[in-house]
Amino acid sequence: MTACNTSSISYFATTNFLSQSLHIMSYFEVPTHLFGAYIIIFKTPSNMSSVKWPMLNLHFWSSMLDVFWSSLANPFVLFPYFAGNGIGILSRFGLDTAIQVYVAITAVEG
């Protein structure tokens, strides 16, 4: 008779690792996105003035999507099943998972 060994699960396979690693990445992403916005606003050459605001718009929405996935939602998806759970800040505040999925799909498609 063999005993069930539950200690064989690696820390890298837990939701804590995913959540902590994405939050650590956010500490580097947010200043980088702010620096990118600064470069677009203040350092764009005058011959690129026609694309300055569309480029800033694209940068803003890309940054918001990045922050949403890495800090606010933190989706923990179970493949190959269509199952998962949000482990981010919005889940800690009690926001329904269906609303988070709707915002995520809208942000990706937008």
Q: Note the pLDDT tens digit of each residue in 48-86.
A: 999 999 999 999 989 988 998 899 988 888 888 888 888
- What is the pTM for the complete model shown? 0.78
- Tell me how far apart the alpha carbons of residues 108 and 110 are, in angstroms, rounded to a whole number: 6
Q: What is the pLDDT of residue 75?
A: 85
pLDDT of residue 36: 97
- pLDDT for residue 7: 63
pLDDT above 90 (res 24): yes
- H or E segment to which residue 91 belongs: helix 89-92
45: preceding bond cis by omega (within 30 degrees): no
User: Average pLDDT over the chain, rounded to whole?
Assistant: 88
Q: Which residue has the higher pLDDT, 3 or 24?
A: 24
User: What pLDDT does residue 26 have?
Assistant: 92
Helix axes 52-67, 15-43, angle to 10 degrees: 170
Measured distance CA(21)–CA(3) in Å, rounded: 32
- H/E element, 46: none
Using CA atoms, how far apart are residues 103 and 91, in angstroms rounded to an integer? Answer: 13
Count other C-beta atoms under 10 Å from residue 23's C-beta: 14
Q: What is the DSSP string of 45-68?
A: -GGGTTTHHHHHHHHHHHHHHHHI
Confidence of residue 108 (pLDDT cuts 50, 70, 90): confident
Report the distance separating Cα 100 and Cα 87, nearest Å: 11
